[in-house]
Amino acid sequence: MTRPHEDLERHSPTDHRPGGAPIQFPPGAWCAIDIVNVRADRMNAGISTYETLIEKARTSSTRARAGAVLRSVNHRHVIAILEIEGHEAFRHLQSAWDDHHLNADRHAVAESSTLGFYRLTTCAGAAALDPATKDAYAFEHVARGPERARPLITAIAAAEGFRGALVFGADDESASAIIYRFTRATAFDTFRWSAAARQVLGPVGASGEAAVPAHPVRTFG
């Protein structure tokens, strides 16, 4: 069943369908990641916005590949991840998405957004994004480069309930975006507050945005 559009004037007439097949980004993949803060009552509009943007990118000269849209459990964040060819493709995508954001901001869909260019530096376990799974996911953005974040994999592999993780390093090596996958949310919370995690990433929220429970709601394979 299709989901009705909100703010139709900002979207292409696309048939949005929730779900999708599990996707796995290949090691070394270049990805555009947009972290969007939204009002809770605008969550669905934010998701629709990024479904449209990703679908447009996949049919344009950007040559976008796999992609996913995640929503936070508290309905305050939308995270969009799209695999693209490289730096030139990111510049084209940045221009197209910035134009759209200007329009979206005027309609109060996004309170703020941070679009960045990242490379998948490390992955472990069952790191696929799967809208159908009952596993718990979380997303975190930390102000630590990929080299400083990489030891996280050693620490996380022994954690109870660990299923998988993806570590994306920012192109300028100033930050990392991390997606965690655990069998349940409480297992992730226990790990993230552990001494091992804090040694690598610092206290929760101290070096960037605190980890937020988030779940894939749409994938593009």
Supply the pTM of this predicted model: 0.86
Q: Is residue 17 part of a domain?
A: no
pLDDT given for residue 157 in this prediction: 87
Phi-psi region of 43 (alpha: psi -120 to 50; beta: other; left: phi over 0): alpha
pLDDT of residue 102: 53
DSSP conformation class of 19: B
Number of domains in the chain: 1
- How far is the C-alpha of 81 from the C-alpha of 33, rounded, in Å? 5
Segments of the chain scoring below 50 in pLDDT: 1-14, 106
User: Within a domain: residue 52?
Assistant: yes
List CB contacts of 66: < 8 A, sequence separation 6 or more: 23, 24, 25, 82, 83, 219, 220, 221
The pLDDT, as a whole number, for residue 101 is: 61
pLDDT of residue 200: 86
Domain that holds residue 198: 27-220
Strand 176-182 and strand 162-170: the pairing is antiparallel
Residue 10 belongs to a domain: no
Q: Express each pLDDT in 123-142 by its tens digit.
A: 999 999 999 999 999 999 98
Q: What is the CATH number of the domain that holds 100?
A: 3.30.70.100
**Given this model, what pLDDT does residue 19 score?**
86
What pLDDT does 1 receive? Answer: 33
44: in domain = yes
Query: What is the predicted pLDDT for the residue at 33?
Result: 96
